[in-house]
A and B are shown apart, each in its own frame.
Chain A
Amino acid sequence: MGTTRREWLKSGGGVTLLTLLAAAGWLKPDEALAQAWNKAAFEAKTMDEALKALGTGAPTASKDITFVSTPDIAENGAVVPIGIASAIPKTEAIAILIEKNPSTLTANFDIPPGTDPAISTRVKMAQTSNVYALVKADGKYYVASKEIKVTLGGCGG
């Protein structure tokens, strides 16, 4: 008996097809990757693991990344506003990493040309921690950090 289509897909045939499409130039690798949620990066427990899973190498510290309307002290860790703006030319992506959360990587935003390299959202923080803003610009990685003190943690509950 030959394998069914379903089994073939489960066996990873689908991945092979994507790889072939990428190789044939039909799909740019970035586009293919953008479709899939980066499980390894989001499950990383430490900064080092997360940066490794994102393939950033060692990011350069930058003063051109700023935290906008982000508090120094968050009374409620369940809702912490974070705003990040990058003044680095050709910013392509902005990621938020929270060092002492159970999983470090919180969000990764792709910034297409024509969109301002600035995003605001709200995050959960388990405890007082450094928050890192990781920026990808022109293929290189930059980082800035800010400590946010948390009075009441936002996980466990």
Chain B
Amino acid sequence: MPDPMKIRATVVGDSTEVKVIMSHEMETGQRKDAQGKVVPAWFIQSVTATYGGKTVLSAQWGPAIAKNPFLAFRFKGGAKGEKVQIAWVDSRGEKRSDEAAIG
């Protein structure tokens, strides 16, 4: 099981600002190990953020997103104490989903 994400969601005016750091190697498939063998690509391919059952952001990623990916965005609305969910799926089919209360 991959490590949990760090999610911070805060009310800013009439919007909610969401900042996420995911724990992932984001291996490009370009790098070689000490034996000179190519390290196979392994990266998060899709990310979905939901609030109140609605998708507030979805993304498709390639391996050029930096290691331990950072993502920030804002959506209208969002009430303190309510939860924002973030989920990702990587190129090996591994999944991780976390949530955080809006502060």
Binding site secondary structure of chain B = strand
Measured CB to CB, the closest approach of chain A to B30, in angstroms, equals: 4
In Å, the complex CA distance between A148 and B84 comes to 33
Evaluate contact between B55 and A79: CB separation under 8 angstroms: no
Chain B residue at minimum C-beta to C-beta distance from A122: B66
Are A34 and B66 CB-contacts (below 8 A) given A114-B77, A120-B72? no
Are A102 and B59 CB-contacts (below 8 A) given A37-B45, A114-B75, A121-B69? no
Measured CB to CB, the closest approach of chain B to A82, in angstroms, equals: 10
In Å, the complex CA distance between A154 and B32 comes to 13
Evaluate contact between A98 and B64: CB separation under 8 angstroms: yes
In Å, the complex CA distance between A125 and B31 comes to 13
The chain A residues found within 8 Å of chain B, CB to CB, are 34, 37-38, 42, 78-81, 83, 98, 101-103, 105-112, 114-116, 118-126, 154-157
User: Which B residues are in CB contact (< 8 Å) with A124?
Assistant: 26, 28, 63-67
Evaluate contact between A103 and B64: CB separation under 8 angstroms: yes
Instruction: Name the contact of B76 in the complex, choosing from A115, A123, A125 (C-beta under 8 A).
Output: A115
Are A155 and B30 CB-contacts (below 8 A) given A108-B60, A110-B57, A123-B64? yes
